[in-house]
């Protein structure tokens, strides 16, 4: 009778080794306490939040605070010094925090390079001394890399305040100083909370604002100071909220740059400008070049240059009528990709303008390397035009830019003295309240038609 038992192929030595290693890993995993973080053996996030909440509720007569520690650019430390060194740094921090641990002080290793400690305290100086002691211990570890620890501190309002909220607030405080050499700790305060609430509200409302056309393009005219003629304009965004009225850009643009939604806002304003220019051209009315702003976030948006070309083609607007305005810092972000994108758009017929010239540290290098056509001199250069040193700087900058063949626009011209001095330097074009503030497109049209 034939043997019906299934015949398995022989197991190779390599497979045996693999099975052996797998069994070791399973044994190690089964011996790992599910409440502890691997390697440091400190409480993980879930266990920490439970234990911290329990300690606070059982000791209502005491004041508690949560210290959240994070290392700036820890990934770079691993790459520069090796993962073994990175692990040693984590163990150094864990051992230091473990030294504070007792029945009332709870220590945790949340993830990677993020640690937390809930501790009782009697006064704020005690928290500061603890933070500085931890930072000093980390600073004393000698490796060929500058470790930048930051500690965010949140004081509990009461014993029922959830540790998860304490963690979130401490994280907000930490982000205000992370990566800064001069700041080691920061306390969460009411102003941070209000700012956080405002940012969340902006994030929640901006999508609807985009879909309901609350975001409107305004234009600030560019003027020939010798003749007063309007020679162009800059498109700016204004949020016309149905209940709050006009929300200043300074309130919402930084939030949108942080979360990436600035890209959608840019495209919204670009589209309005192309539509308007297209209509003016069809009606045979006067048109002048309008500059649109390119956020530095577009350095990571690989298709933004195709979007601009598509808008130009779709609305039959010659690229020469649209200048692309980037801040100096934009040229420092993802430099190679941004340079290639700008060169591509320049080849398509768009002109390029560098905004806020003089506010960065590498301006001269960029003037040599970047394909910019126009330079916008920051208003900070002319704020005190009566100052002799300021005049010397302006003369030198204008002379250099003219020698390089760059067009010049001066921002923030607000007084007759500024205008007169700039004209003496044969610097003709300007934006500023001496002439016009940013205005709705309909008002700008009336100026052109007049």
Encode pLDDT of 394-404 as tens digits.
999 899 899 88
Average pLDDT over residues 35-39: 81
Give pLDDT tens digits for 173-224: 998 898 888 889 999 998 888 888 888 888 889 989 999 999 999 999 999 9
List the structure tokens of 146: 């500058």
The answer to whether the CB of 288 falls within 8 A of the CB of 230 is: yes
Average pLDDT over residues 49-78: 93
DSSP 3-state of 85: helix
The whole-angstrom separation of Cα 316 and Cα 333 is 31
The whole-angstrom separation of Cα 218 and Cα 320 is 20
State residue 24's pLDDT score.
42
List the structure tokens of 221: 């005219």
State residue 231's pLDDT score.
95
Report the interhelical angle of 83-98 vs 124-139 (nearest 10°). Answer: 150
State residue 1's pLDDT score.
45
Please name each of the domains of the chain with its CATH number.
Answer: 35-188 (3.30.70.270), 200-449 (3.20.20.450)
DSSP 3-state of 158: coil
The answer, yes or no, to whether residue 124 has pLDDT greater than 90, is: yes
65 vs 336: which has the higher pLDDT: 65
Say which range, 73-77, 104-108, 324-328, 440-444, has the weakest mean pLDDT: 324-328
Percent of the chain with pLDDT over 90: 60
The answer, yes or no, to whether residue 327 has pLDDT greater than 80, is: no
The answer to whether the CB of 255 falls within 8 A of the CB of 202 is: yes
The answer, yes or no, to whether residue 285 has pLDDT greater than 50, is: yes
Average pLDDT over residues 59-80: 92
Element spanning 330, H or E: none
Q: What is the DSSP letter of 208?
A: H
The whole-angstrom separation of Cα 258 and Cα 176 is 13
The answer, yes or no, to whether residue 27 has pLDDT greater than 50, is: no
The answer, yes or no, to whether residue 155 has pLDDT greater than 50, is: yes
State residue 446's pLDDT score.
95
Percent of the chain with pLDDT over 70: 88
Per-residue pLDDT band at 30 (split at 50, 70, 90): very low
Torsion of CA 68, 71, 75, 80, to 10 degrees: -160
Per-residue pLDDT band at 19 (split at 50, 70, 90): low
404 vs 314: which has the higher pLDDT: 314
The answer to whether the CB of 74 falls within 8 A of the CB of 90 is: no
Give pLDDT tens digits for 338-350: 788 888 999 999 9
The answer, yes or no, to whether residue 242 has pLDDT greater than 70, is: yes
The whole-angstrom separation of Cα 222 and Cα 131 is 52
Average pLDDT over residues 369-378: 85
State residue 328's pLDDT score.
65
State residue 303's pLDDT score.
86
The whole-angstrom separation of Cα 214 and Cα 178 is 35
The answer, yes or no, to whether residue 375 has pLDDT greater than 50, is: yes
- What is the separation of C-alpha 128 from the centre of its chain, rounded to a whole number of angstroms? 28
User: How far is CA 399 from each of CA 214, 293, 410, rounded to the nearest angstrom?
Assistant: 43, 26, 14
Q: Which residues contact 372 (CB under 8 A, 6 or more apart)?
A: 342, 352, 353, 354, 366, 406
Q: What is the DSSP letter of 381?
A: G
pTM given for the model: 0.70
């Amino acid at each position: 009778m034939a043997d019906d038992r299934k015949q398995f192929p022989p197991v190779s030595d390599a497979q045996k080794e693999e099975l052996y290693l797998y069994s070791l890993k399973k044994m190690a995993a089964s011996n790992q306490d599910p409440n502890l973080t691997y390697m440091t053996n400190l409480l993980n996030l879930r266990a920490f939040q439970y234990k911290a909440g329990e300690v606070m509720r059982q000791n209502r007569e005491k004041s508690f605070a949560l210290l959240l520690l994070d290392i700036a650019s820890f990934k770079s430390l691993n790459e520069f010094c090796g993962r073994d060194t990175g692990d040693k740094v984590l163990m150094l921090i864990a051992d230091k925090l473990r030294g504070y641990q007792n029945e009332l002080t709870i220590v945790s290793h949340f993830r990677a390079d993020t640690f937390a400690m809930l501790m009782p305290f009697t006064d704020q100086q005690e928290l500061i001394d603890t933070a500085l002691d931890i930072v000093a211990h980390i600073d004393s570890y000698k490796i060929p890399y500058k470790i930048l620890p930051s500690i965010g501190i949140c004081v509990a309002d009461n014993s029922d305040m959830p540790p998860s909220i304490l963690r979130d607030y401490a994280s907000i405080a930490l982000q205000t100083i992370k990566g800064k050499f001069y700041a080691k700790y920061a306390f969460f305060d009411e102003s941070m909370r209000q700012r956080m609430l405002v940012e969340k509200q902006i994030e929640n409302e901006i999508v609807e604002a985009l879909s309901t056309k609350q975001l409107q393009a305004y234009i600030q005219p560019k003027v020939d100071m010798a003749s007063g003629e309007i020679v162009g304009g800059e498109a700016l965004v204004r949020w016309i909220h149905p209940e709050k009225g006009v929300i200043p850009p300074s309130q919402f643009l930084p939030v949108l740059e942080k979360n990436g939604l600035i890209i959608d806002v840019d495209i919204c304003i670009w589209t309005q400008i192309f539509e308007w220019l297209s209509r003016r051209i069809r009606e045979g009315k006067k048109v002048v070049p309008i500059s649109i702003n390119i956020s530095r976030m577009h350095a990571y948006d690989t298709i933004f240059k195709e979007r601009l070309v598509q808008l130009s083609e779709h609305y039959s607007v010659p690229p020469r009528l649209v200048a692309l305005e980037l801040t100096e810092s934009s040229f420092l972000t993802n430099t190679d990709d941004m340079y290639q994108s700008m060169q591509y758009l320049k080849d398509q017929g768009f002109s390029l303008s560098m905004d806020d010239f003089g506010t960065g540290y590498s301006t001269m290098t960029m003037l040599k390397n970047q394909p910019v056509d126009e330079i916008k001199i920051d208003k900070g250069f002319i704020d005190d035009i009566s100052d002799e040193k300021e005049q010397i700087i302006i003369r030198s900058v204008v002379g250099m830019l003219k020698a390089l063949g760059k067009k010049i626009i001066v921002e923030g011209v607000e007084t007759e003295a500024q205008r007169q001095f700039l004209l003496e330097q044969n610097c003709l074009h300007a934006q500023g309240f001496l002439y016009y503030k940013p205005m709705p497109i309909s008002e700008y049209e009336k100026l052109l038609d007049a």
